[in-house]
Amino acid sequence: MFAIIPIKDSYPPPKGSRFLYRRRGAIFSSDDFSHELAIAVETDGGIVALTGCSHHGILNILAAVKDALPDRTIKALFGGFHLVSLPFAWTMSERKESVRALGRELLQSHVEQFYRSHCTGSKGYRILKDIMGERLEYFPAGSKVRI
């Protein structure tokens, strides 16, 4: 198992991240997400990558995993794509075309399967699912997947 840090901002972070702050003592400032990491687990079939809400952006998380483990196949990526907008979780922080472009980019990444969680949001998931088809699955809490 590997902890993947740091996550570089090679791609623009999700717009919804601009609403998140970090407190240091009594001071609140925009969160730089320097504490964010991804986990990579080596399996017989390749790497399974796990992330939380991907505040840096799922493309940046994926790039960090590929940089850390350059010669390994990524079989699956589990995590949120952070497409919801705060404070209104039922709205998207990105334009539809940006989400479609994200889906096309993920399809080209050579990751076999993507499992999205809560902060992708239902609207973002539907748009991505139209682009990514069978390579994207919904992964709610309590789900099980055999890799």
Residues 6+ apart with CB under 8 A from 21: 28, 29, 30, 31
Residue 121 has pLDDT above 90, yes or no: no
Mean pLDDT taken over the chain: 92
Mean pLDDT value of segment 126-139: 96
DSSP 10-60: SSPPPGGGGG-EEEETTEEEE---TT--EEEEEETTEEEEE-SS-TT-HHH
Domain boundaries, the chain: 2-138
For 43-90, how does the pLDDT look when each residue is reduced to its tens digit (9 = 90+)? 999 999 999 989 899 999 999 999 999 999 999 999 999 898 776 667
Placement of tokens 């993947």 in the chain: 4
Percent of the chain having pLDDT more than 70?
97
- What pLDDT, on a 0 to 100 scale, did the predictor assign at position 18? 80
Residue 14 has pLDDT above 80, yes or no: yes
Q: What is the CATH number of domain 2-138?
A: 3.60.15.10
